[in-house]
Structure 1
């Protein structure tokens, strides 16, 4: 297994490729980074790989983004959880949004793939 700092660099670079695909509208690049059994947990519900890549059918969805407060947790010999803050501007919008994201990356036969992601809008409200 990679050292913690190496794992953080690897996973952050991969996650950045996902965000870059959202900026360029490249569904093929997005799909290449997701596992076949990918599941996302989002404010509007669950989404599989087809839904994630399908959002790019009409082109780019994100105009700009910044990732910060990056943390990593090794979850096994060939997996890690990347946790971070994403500030982003949707295409056609003027207000930036903030999500806290957890992405599980696994090294499988096809290489590193994202198998799970949860995006939590940062609302500033406390936990009930």
Structure 2
């Protein structure tokens, strides 16, 4: 091997080592781009198939959970708030096997004083078969 080839290999290795922390920080702050893509693609389609229109939904977007989750699901979730139940936040996940959308049983409710509480009982948009988030 020539000296030029050795320097190129060494430079590539150093570049990889130096840029890896930036990639890790990006993933920790923003989540996996692939997970975000499949959530943004599959969950709105699932909600449409369930009969929900865009006019029924106040807010919906991809979220990256701060804690550990059910290992059968991709890490990123999709958060949905319906207009006529705007104090309850629903979460949907994508299964690793089959990429199916499932609603999580855990929901959050924001009280009048701004405190977020977990809800595990039935609510207006609760699905009969839900999955455990944790």
Provide the TM-score with structure 2 as the length reference. Answer: 0.29
TM-score norm. by structure 1 comes to: 0.30
Structure whose residues are more often strand by fraction: 1
Going by fraction, where is helix more abundant, 1 or 2?
2
Higher relative contact order (CA 8 A, sep 6+): 1
Which one has the largest radius of gyration? Answer: 2
